[in-house]
Amino acid sequence: MKFKAVIFDMDGTLLDTLEDIAGSVNRVLMKRGFPTHDLNQYRAFIGEGPKILISRALPMEQRATGMVSSCLQAYLDDYRENCAISTTLYEGIPELLDELVHRNIKITILTNKQNDLARLCADLFLSRWHFDRILGLRADVPRKPHPAGALEIADHLGVDPKNILFVGDSDTDMKTAHAGGMFPVGVRWGFASQEVLKSGGAERLIVHPMDLTGLL
């Protein structure tokens, strides 16, 4: 099968954002006198959008709608100001993106990060490459694993979904790929375990970004 495009997740796939996300959420929790969490705990919190991230981070008895909404806004404001303290591209990602561009493979991003923050991070860390589409979380489009965003990208590119590689680090990404009729590739350097990726339906697991070229 000839793949013509790649849809990348952002956090845990292209960018190692764990410390900056954890830092922002922990500052919000500390200001309200709530317990904070270590990095490993945040690995399990990330992937299904900022509202669920905040809900998981809050103490069980503090997860009422009003508290979640208040903390969510505080987190988004903090993260917007502090998203580039520790974030980096994963080793091998620049080389992979260079190779995909060289091969005329269309590259795109679909993430459950807020749309404006996804574009901010792309501008800060990924501006060297042209992405045909960068879509984050939007009010009028269901979040992953619903395939709406992935199919919107396929339609924009004019590429049959079966000719698209969907690359991500979570079971949410793998489920999105399956729901959209795309080929799911799980990355081992991200936030989720091999077992989680397999349970989500990963058809292939890769341990280094350049391993993706073996599928082209």
Question: What is the CB-side half-sphere exposure of residue 158 using CA atoms within 13 A?
Answer: 0
Query: 104 in the Ramachandran plot: left (φ > 0), alpha (ψ -120 to 50) or beta?
Result: left
Question: Which of 170, 90, 167 lies closest to 125, judged by CA?
Answer: 90
pLDDT digits (tens, 9 = 90+) for 158-201: 999 999 999 999 999 999 999 999 999 999 999 999 999 999 99
Q: pTM of the predicted model, to two decimals?
A: 0.96
**Site of tokens 């990060």:** 113
Positive or negative torsion for Cα 154, 197, 143, 28:
negative
Dihedrals φ, ψ of 116, to 5°?
Answer: -65, -35
* Complete DSSP assignment for 151-163: HHHHHHHT--GGG
The pLDDT of residue 4 is above 90: yes
Identify the pLDDT of residue 97: 98
Question: For residue range 67-119, what is the model confidence (pLDDT) as tens digits?
Answer: 999 999 999 999 999 999 999 999 999 999 999 999 999 999 999 999 999 99
Reading the block at residue 53, the tokens are 């991230």
Tell me: the pLDDT tens digits for 131-152?
999 999 999 999 999 999 999 9
Instruction: Give the SS3 label for residue 183.
Output: strand
Q: Which two tokens stand for residue 46?
A: 């990330």
